[in-house]
Structure 1
Amino acid sequence: MSGDASACVHYFVYYRVRADAEHEDAEATVRAMQAALERRTGVAGRLMERRGDAVTWMEVYEGVADPDAFEAALRIEADAHRVASFVEPGSARHMERFVECA
């Protein structure tokens, strides 16, 4: 995806991983989803966990030039990889969008 870097959107997707989930399996699934998303969109993702709280995770996607296409691809890949199956029941993946201050 190309475009003016100042118009790019940065995505932060956070959620709690199920307490009974196998951490390694959940991480492998999210990383596989991110790899597929990168192949589809050209946007590489990072996976982080909250310091001192290994079950709160955040996916970071920076420099997205085509937000509509990216969000559609993210939904498709997250569904295809069943990422929601690792999310704590009663919670959800939350997506925040940020842009550079003008």
Structure 2
Amino acid sequence: MKPTLYCYFKAGTDHPAQLARLRALQEEMAAAGWPGQLLRRCDDADTWMEVYPEISDRAAFLEVWQAARLRHGLDMDCHREWFQPL
């Protein structure tokens, strides 16, 4: 079963700029075959999450994703967690 990456983080103070960078990142990842979703915590507008489902090759995904995050200026601390279906 293919796992899903959940990456959550504090968005920072400039939400519009951060959102633009994240959307550009997700466009790049989708073009590489890994479409994602961007979520915001319901009770904390500053906590955001990227979700990438059904990753068959975690190492390959992480290499591309981490490089893309740096290119898009998204080098902030984030908490990554992998989950898979039971």
TM-score tier (shorter): over 0.9
Identical positions, percent: 29
* Structure 2 residue identity aligned to 1:99: Q
SS for the counterpart of 1:29 is helix
SS for the counterpart of 1:64 is coil
* Structure 2 residue identity aligned to 1:32: A
For normalisation by structure 1, the TM-score amounts to 0.79
SS for the counterpart of 1:63 is coil
Matched, 1:22 2:14: yes
Give the 4+ runs in structure 1 shifted more than 6 A.
none
Any idea what the Cα deviations from partners look like across 1:21-53, whole Å, max 9, x if unmatched? 22111111001011111212x111100110021
| Unpaired runs of at least 5, structure 2 | none
Q: CA RMSD in A?
A: 1.0
The number of residues matched between the two structures is 86
SS for the counterpart of 2:81 is strand
For normalisation by structure 2, the TM-score amounts to 0.92
Matched, 1:9 2:3: yes
* Structure 1 residue identity aligned to 2:83: F
Who is 2:25 aligned against?
A: 33
Who is 1:51 aligned against?
A: 42
| Unpaired runs of at least 5, structure 1 | 1-6
